[in-house]
Amino acid sequence: MMNLKLRLERLCDNRAWVRLHFGDGTNLVGKLFRLGHDYVEMETYGDIEKRATAEYAKHLIPIGLIKYLTIESTAFAEAERRRLDYLAHLDPIEERDLDQGSDQDNRGNNRGVSEFEK
């Protein structure tokens, strides 16, 4: 258990991609972000086996549930593509919302104000 925790700590420092395997045969692929006293925090961007759209999720996983981990895998390249795809979908939405918000603010702030006061 201590060896696993030391390995997780090193991986969290590098924000590495890992595949965590659990006792029931399931696994998660994601980026490690933080290691607590008895948990690890991980971000995932969708299930690799399912070719659906990227879904962002943050997980708090008790260290006691982790059976073993995989550090190097070809699946990490696909996981990184999903992360970038997820971020690419966010950018246009945020930019559009910001543009609409700034236009509304400018129109709202300029009402009843003469050209001289602007």
3-state secondary structure of 35: strand
Q: Is residue 114 in some structural domain?
A: no
CATH code, 74: 2.30.30.100
pLDDT exceeds cutoff 70 at 93:
no
pLDDT digits over 30-40, tens only? 889 999 999 99
Q: Look at 12-16, 62-66, 72-76, 101-105 and tell me which has the smallest mean pLDDT.
A: 101-105
Distance in angstroms (rounded) separating the CA atoms of residues 94 and 60: 27
pLDDT exceeds cutoff 70 at 104:
no
pLDDT for the residue 45:
79
Q: Which domain holds residue 18?
A: 2-109
Q: Is residue 86 in some structural domain?
A: yes
Distance in angstroms (rounded) separating the CA atoms of residues 43 and 48: 14
